[in-house]
Every structure is written in structure tokens, then in C-alpha cells.
Chain A
Amino acid sequence: MALLGSLSWLAANQEEVNRLNVFPVPDGDTGTNMLLTLQSAVEDIKDSPATDVGRIARIAAHGSLMGARGNSGVILSQIFRGFAKAVEGKTELAPAELAAAFEEAANAAYRAVLKPTEGTILTVAREAGRAAAAAAAHPHATSTGVIKAAAEGARKAVEKTPSQLQILRDAGVVDAGGFGLQIMIEGMLKSVEESDVDISKITIARPAAQSALELPEEGWGYCTEFLIAGEDLDVDRIRDQIAALGDSVLVVGDRDLVKVHVHTDDPPRVIGLASQHGRLDKLNVGDMSTQHRRILEESQTNGAEPAAAAGPDRQRANQVGIVAVVSGDGLVDIFKGLGVDAIVGGGQTKNPSTGDLVSAVDALPYDEVILLPNNKNVVLAAREVDKLASKQVHLVETHSMPQGIAAVIAFNGDRPAAANAAAMKAAAGHVQTIEVTRAVRDTRSSGLRVKKGDVIALVNDRLDTTGDDYTQVVADALGKLGPDAYELVTVYRGAEAGDQEVDALSRSLKERFPGLEVEVQAGGQDHYPFILSVE
């Protein structure tokens, strides 16, 4: 059964097809949708005793319509439908009849779509049909030859899709649905011919195409799909009504059963309207902007080119902004990721001015702003900001990056500014900070004698421990804090810390304090190879 070949070949290439999906909106499931649609057709065939091609094709058409998912799945079901119509009543197919069925399959697919677009699965279906017809015209044509020609026609058409659609060109990919169809026809050929097709063309990993596209402001709406079961359904009328409520509209079926697929911003209206025609079944509503965002984030965590990152939600319920003084790439990312609206660079050696802080505060679209200096040398400048800024400023006097991070974590977007400031201050107070560096001069402090170049640890701004070795000094400082009272140590690794030093430190902490969890983060800060947060 040739369709089984299509199914297994498509299953093997499902992810590959998924990754290509950019049109009409990036919802990332073309391969899965086509596979499930095809699977539904194949299962119905397996359950049926039919042996003649006409009846099998009709069962496949019905099964695929019931199982159709997504744009591509619905079009695929129409391809089956056209094929079935062409072979109705036949028990076997001559090459010319097979080619005609391929052509009718494409025609049916075109008819199902409101606004046919070239460079999609439609074009591929049509070109496959044309190639099949040309092959069938040969005097010694065989069925295998016709399928082979169709596969070849499909492949060529797929290759050309980027020249027909800007969105494919921009993303540097071929059309996913068309590619899925090509794979199906190739699978058919494989099973008929039992020979190897050239798979090198389709196993090359392409970057997930969605990353290159930006999410439009209004999002993509909801992908809404369902079946309407009823009597005497008017497909055209239903299509017209649905078309007014969204785009990518597909309404297909017969008088008893209609499949609807639409991208709409108002699924309840679509559902309400459709339910007037008949009973709804297999209702499925998906938020496409969420699907798209998910793909972007997966692609980023996979180390691909970062793309249009979803910015934090700027419109908070409490209308309170946060400004923090931070230096170091990693720390800046951490603060931003936690919801800080503006970062003022600087810290230990490059203290920002009051003016810098005032400009940052005034630039935020909020009337109240929480300010985190994150360094004791910045606290004074920060105290002046409230008088100078046009906003009401709530200063939370954090003295270190760990305190600042603890404070930001305690921020809650639903709570008023003053309550937040109080909670943030309390949270900052629960964190112990250990800052580790080398002494820049000889000194005496807190009863300790320090020589230039010694490793020193400051615990909550106070010189605490000295030594020659980072690992030893940190472990000693932590030991003095009394590690039993804490559960987590976060090590923020500075720009000057080497990989070996980081590994040695984290290993020795885990060995010496087995009750503590140790997490290493890239801080990227200057001057302090290690900053530790103990909580």
C-alpha cells in the first residue's frame, strides 16, 4: 500500500518539515499536522476490507478530512478528496488515469482555498500533477514512472518556492507544506519501487526558520479548527461567513461534514457562528503567538542566532518601574531578566552620577520608581534622586549585586510601590554577600594585615579573610558565616576569573559544604573575580 510508504517516510521527516514552517504564520507544526492527517487516513484504510482503488481512495479522503489538522492538513485532505473523485469506481489504474488523479488532486486543493498562494503546497501539488501527466503521455509509460515523475516534479517545485514567496526567501527556507507533500510522494515511490531515493537533499538540518521573523505587534491570533456535522450544509455560505472573521481560511467538506480552519482574533465568535449550522466536533483553538514565541525561545536555548526576544511586559498592574545600577554583562542580563526596566552602568570604580540616575528614572513610563544602587559608594548619589526626579522614587539601599538581585526577586508587579520597597529591603537583608578580589595595596583593616596582591574576601563590605588562594579564602569566609544556616550559594563569576579557578572553587565548596547547593552564574563584573550570594 503506497500510502503506508508515504506515512513512514513523512514520519521519519516530520521534524524536518516542522522546522521549515514559516507560512502563513509561524505556528511550527506543519510536519506534525500533515503526519496526523495522513495517519488518520491510513488508519481508516486499515480498518476497512476494501481492496479496490476507488473505495480505498474514498476512505482515505474521508479519514484525512476527519483527522485534518492545521492549514496543511486540511489542504492535504482536499488533495485526497480530489484524487478519490478522479478514481471513483475504478478497481485499478492505468498510468494515464493515475496522472489524471494527481492533477485532479491539485485542482481540488486549489478550489478549497479562498485565496490560493503560489509557492505553497498548492503549487507543489499542481507541478507534481503536470509532471505525472507528461510522463503518462509517453508510449511506454508505467505507473511507477508516473509516480517517479510526480516526485521529481514536486521536488523541483519545492526548490522554487523561495523564489515565489518573499517570506520563504527572507527565512532562507523552502515551503514546509510543499516539502511535506514532496516527501509523501517520495515515500509512495519508495514503497512502489523498493528503491532508494536520494535522501541527501532532505536530511540537511536547516535552522528553525521562525527565528528570522518578527512577531507583529498584534500577534497572530488563534488557530481555530473544528468539524461541523449537520444536514444539508452549505459549504460556500459557511466559508463566506468564516472568511469575514479571520484569515488563512479553509472551509471544506460536503453536505454532512465540513472542516473549518481559520486564524482569527475572536474564536468564540467563529465557534458561535459555526454552531448555528450544526454540531461541532474536534474543536481545537491554539494561540499562535505563544507557539511562535516558544519556537523562538527554543531556538535561542539551542544556541542559534538570537532573534526578536520577547521583552518584559512593560505595563505592570502597579505602574511601578525599577532602575538598578549594575556592571558586568552577565549581571546586566540577570537584572533585566528579572524585570528591571533600566540599568545604569557603573558600580565599584565608575560610580554613576546623580544626574545619570535621575535621567534613567525620568525616562521610565511610570510615576513611581524603585531605585537599587547595589553598591555602598552609589547610595549617597541615589539618595538625591528623589528630590531631583519628576517621579516619586523609592530607594532600596542595596550595597551589593547579591542584595540587589534578592531585592528584585522580591518585587511583585501587583503590589504598590511602598509595600514593594519594604519587601525588597527585607529580602536584601536576608542575603549575605562575599566579594573576592586581590588587594591593590598594603593595608590593615578589621585587625587583618594585608599585602598588595593577597586574595581578600569582604563579607557584607567588611574585610574578613585573606590568603593566597581564591578557593581557600572563599571556603574560609563561608565557614565563618556558618553554612548550616543557609541552603544556596550563588557564585557570580567575574571577567577575570579563569575556568580552572571557577571549577576548583565550585568543587571545593561542594566538598566542604555538602549541605549547600552551589550555582555558578556568569556575572562578567570587573575587579571582583568572584561575588558570592549566600542565602
Chain B
Amino acid sequence: MVPLKVLFGNESFRDGVDLDSDQFFNRLAQSSNLPTTSAPSPGDFAAVYERLARECAGVISIHIGSQLSATAESARVGAQSVAGLPVHVIDSRSVTMTIAFLCLVAAQSPSLAEAVQRVEERIPKQRVIALLDTLRYIEMGGRVNRATAMIGTMLDLKPLLGVAAGDIKPLDRVRTRGRAVPRMVELLREDYPLEHVAVMHAQAPDEAEKVAAEVRLELEKEGVEVVTGQIGAVLGTHTGPKALGFAYLKR
């Protein structure tokens, strides 16, 4: 794992290393200026690859989508400086738990070549559906704007965003959170059958459990486990608190 970084003003933290999810959102709530995020440097990657070169014959290095972050590019540059170790840098074109699912797929593969092939097959099958409590954070990061999301500034609308093929796209917008959750579930069901699914949340564990319970029975019948998890600091910078979503692989 090579962490991305979150910057509050001029202070830099490694996501999940210097700052866990709860610490991040506490800090976010107290900070008057919004944090920014940055990809690991090529040097960060080179250091990890050099360590791996002593232990492994090859590396599959799976990263956050290149349309959303410079991480994969940084990994590619970092890999160039390590001689004699084949590094397959994969641009996942996605974010959050779907990348973990890809890693799981890779880890269960019998060989590096097979891992690369299996992961690449699944890249177009990743989806993220996210309900944001406000568009403010993602807009500040420049990833989505109010006009294209057709979210005016007056009403407190809840945007539903989707990530597919590396792009963030507004899926829908709803007037209340109460209505957003069933809509999310509806959108998820349109993508059945699934291979892996996670319910992700930012400081909304109860809601996440409720949403997971909603689909758990039907998915477990198909042999799909529904996991829940917290959004980390870097993604949290762009979603803001109270974000809720599904990250999944279609079958």
C-alpha cells in the first residue's frame, strides 16, 4: 500500500497512516479551509518497488483511476527507476473498494500474467454509486461542477454520482436523503448480477448498515458477500462527511 496524501493548509498527512478516517473527519469539521489531496510521488513508489524487488519476481500495482488522480502516472514513473523488476501498473479507472476487489482478484490468481489478465477483464465492470450530503467538497476539488450536475445553489439537493470507466457522472439528484437511499438501491439492482459489493460511508455507519441489510439477503443467496467500510481521508476530502455509497464489480 502506498498512501495518497491529504493537505490541510501546509500540513501533509498520509491517508490511513498519519490520519485515520475518524481523525480526518474530526479535523475537517474543525478546519475553516478545505483540505486538498495529492498523489504519492514517483519516489514513494520507487521505494516500495525496490523493497518488493528483493522479495518478489514481479509486481501488479493497482491504482485509483488516472482521470481522478495522478497516482497511476506517478507509479509508472516510479517503476521506471527500478531495474530488473517487472511492474504492471494498472489504472483501475475507479476509486475506493472496487480497487480492493481488484487486489483480491489478483491475489487469488495463480500467476502474475493471470492476475493481470483477470484484473484487466474486471476494470470495465467496476461501478461506484455515491450519495453526497452536499456537492461542496467534490466541487472544490474540481471533480464535478454544479452546472453539469444541474444542482442549483438554492435548494439543498442531494446529488447521486456514479463512477464508471474512470469518469464521475451525475446519476440523479433527489430532494431528501430519505428518498436518496431507496434510489441508490434501485440503481444498484439495475446492475445485478454482481461479483463483489461494498457499502461505503463517511461518518454514517448506521445508515450504511441499514443499506447493507436491505440488499444482503438477496445478494448472499447469489453467494455475494456484502461488506461495509469507511471512506478514507483522500476520498473523504472530495465526498465530505455523510457520504454513502456502493462500490461493486458487476459479473
List A319-342 residues whose CB lies under 8 Å from chain B.
330, 333-334, 336-339
> Is A35 an interface residue, CB under 8 A from the partner?
yes
List A358-381 residues whose CB lies under 8 Å from chain B.
none
Q: Which residues of B contact A406 (CB under 8 A)?
A: 175
C-alpha gap A271/B140 in the complex (Å): 25
Q: Which residues of A contact B178 (CB under 8 A)?
A: 487
Q: Is the CB of A279 within 8 A of B175?
A: no
> Is B83 an interface residue, CB under 8 A from the partner?
no
Q: Is the CB of B77 within 8 A of A312?
A: no
List B175-215 residues whose CB lies under 8 Å from chain A.
175-176, 178-179
**The stretch of A96-104, A158-166, A253-261, A284-292 that contacts the partner chain:** A284-292
Residue among B147, B152, B154, B179 making CB contact with A311, cutoff 8 Å: B147
C-alpha gap A334/B70 in the complex (Å): 36
List A287-302 residues whose CB lies under 8 Å from chain B.
287, 290-291, 293-294, 297, 301
Given A338-B152, A409-B157, A294-B142 contact (CB < 8 Å):
yes
C-alpha gap A521/B148 in the complex (Å): 23
Residue among A312, A333, A517 making CB contact with B147, cutoff 8 Å: A312
Given A337-B153, A338-B150, A282-B81 contact (CB < 8 Å):
no
Q: Is the CB of B145 within 8 A of A293?
A: yes
C-alpha gap A411/B73 in the complex (Å): 37
C-alpha gap A483/B175 in the complex (Å): 17
Interface residues on B, range: 35 or more
C-alpha gap A279/B147 in the complex (Å): 39
Given A287-B142, A337-B152, A517-B176, A279-B10 contact (CB < 8 Å):
no
> Is B219 an interface residue, CB under 8 A from the partner?
no
> Is B109 an interface residue, CB under 8 A from the partner?
no
C-alpha gap A338/B151 in the complex (Å): 5
- Give the dominant DSSP class at A's interface: mixed
Q: Is the CB of B142 within 8 A of A313?
A: no
Identity of the chain B residue whose Cβ is nearest the Cβ of A415 in the assembled complex: B172
Residue among A294, A297, A409 making CB contact with B174, cutoff 8 Å: A409
Q: Give me the interface of B with A, judged by CB distance under 8 Å.
A: 10, 38-39, 41-43, 70, 73-74, 77, 80-81, 139-140, 142, 145-148, 150-157, 169-176, 178-179
Q: Which residues of B contact A312 (CB under 8 A)?
A: 147-148, 150
**Nearest-CB distance from A331 to chain B (Å)?**
9
**Nearest-CB distance from B133 to chain A (Å)?**
13
**Nearest-CB distance from A256 to chain B (Å)?**
15
Given A36-B10, A287-B142, A291-B142, A279-B174 contact (CB < 8 Å):
no
Identity of the chain A residue whose Cβ is nearest the Cβ of B140 in the assembled complex: A294
> Is A280 an interface residue, CB under 8 A from the partner?
yes
**Nearest-CB distance from A416 to chain B (Å)?**
16
Given A283-B70, A283-B74, A412-B140 contact (CB < 8 Å):
no
Known pairs A293-B145, A297-B139, A338-B150 / 10 extra A-B pairs, C-beta < 8 Å: A275-B77, A285-B70, A294-B142, A297-B146, A312-B148, A313-B148, A336-B152, A409-B173, A411-B150, A521-B155
Q: Which residues of B contact A36 (CB under 8 A)?
A: 10
Q: Which residues of A contact B146 (CB under 8 A)?
A: 297, 310, 337
